[in-house]
Amino acid sequence: MIACTRCGRLHTDVEAFLGKRLSCTEIKQFWAQIKKEHKAKYGHYAQIIRDDTKGWICFECNRKLF
């Protein structure tokens, strides 16, 4: 079941990963933090996409995000 019709998988996958229900604002903060951490480590902001195994990766460098 999709928790949010606006966020879709971006929302439900994070909730499953963290094991708790979150608001859309908390989901946006989670992804913003992922992007900031990725920039600090690799020098560019993560361009979030799904890979063939349905995991979240950066389009630019193909690194797994979580």
Residue 2 binned pLDDT confidence (cut-offs 50, 70, 90): low
The tens digit of pLDDT for each residue in 6-60 reads 778 888 899 999 999 999 899 999 999 999 999 999 999 999 999 998 899 999 9
Residue 28 within a domain? yes
Q: List, as one string, the DSSP characters of 19-44.
A: TS---HHHHHHHHHHHHHHHHHHHSS
Residue 1 binned pLDDT confidence (cut-offs 50, 70, 90): very low
Residue 1 within a domain? no
Overall number of domains in the chain: 1
Residue 16 within a domain? yes
- pLDDT at position 66 is 84
**pLDDT value at 3 more than 60:** no
Residue 16: domain span: 9-58
Residue 47 within a domain? yes
